[in-house]
Amino acid sequence: MPNFGASAVVVSDGQVLLIKRKDVEVWALPGGAIDSGESTAQAAIREVKEETGIDIQLVRLVGIYSSPNWRSGGDHAIVYAAIPKNDKPVAQVNEVLDVGYFSPDQLPEPFTWWHRRRIADALRGITGVSCVQDRVWTLGPNLNRREIYDMLTRSGLSPSDFYEQYFTEIGQVGEKIEVDGVSIG
């Protein structure tokens, strides 16, 4: 079954708000799954707050980014551009390891490769893009999150090495714009 999530590219003084994920210890945009009964916008606002402590204002829809071959059913993210209402991020320890603002030209490593285009599109003022970001899922098709974490523990790899080994392979399509966004900037 497809997974649907929402995230936000939060920009303050030209810097982008990022989180360091707790599970695989890589830097990424704040975001996550859309809960039952909430809109995509509500999910983006909630996820940013849960992970960073920041309240945000969404300013526009950037687009939809799909990885149809990820896990069993695909992974689809609705991405918004946003500005912070308060500017003191605090890593929410139940959610992330670290949080901070970074220059888009100097993103921390290891970094989630498929978020680079999302950030670039948001910063270019793009709205309405539909992009396939073909990532290869190299693990079993029906593994749940708990089973993946157990696999990480048994592997003997660090979380970032586990991420590097299993989650960074780009598919044959790579990135493909299906519907070109419009720049409003």
Region 127-147 average pLDDT: 80
Give the chain's domains with CATH numbers: 3-183 (3.90.79.10)
d(CA 74, CA 64) in angstroms, rounded, equals: 13
Which pLDDT band holds residue 173 (cuts at 50, 70, 90)?
low
Q: Does residue 43 surpass a pLDDT of 90?
A: yes
Which pLDDT band holds residue 160 (cuts at 50, 70, 90)?
confident
* Other CB atoms within 10 A of residue 10 CB: 28
Q: Does residue 169 surpass a pLDDT of 70?
A: no
Mean pLDDT of the chain: 88
Residue 28 vs residue 153, higher pLDDT: 28
Region 32-53 average pLDDT: 96
d(CA 61, CA 74) in angstroms, rounded, equals: 21
Residue 183 vs residue 11, higher pLDDT: 11
Which of these ranges, 17-31, 59-73, 163-177, has the smallest mean pLDDT?
Answer: 163-177
> What is the pLDDT at residue 92?
85
Q: Indicate the residue type of 91.
A: A
The answer, as to whether pTM is greater than 0.75, is: yes
Region 128-146 average pLDDT: 79
Tens-digit pLDDT profile for residues 174-184 = 778 888 888 87
Q: Does residue 116 surpass a pLDDT of 80?
A: yes
List all residues 6 or more positions away from 21 whose beta carbon is below 8 Å from its beta carbon: 27, 28, 96, 97
Residue 99 vs residue 112, higher pLDDT: 99
Three-class DSSP category at 14: coil
Q: Does residue 163 surpass a pLDDT of 80?
A: no
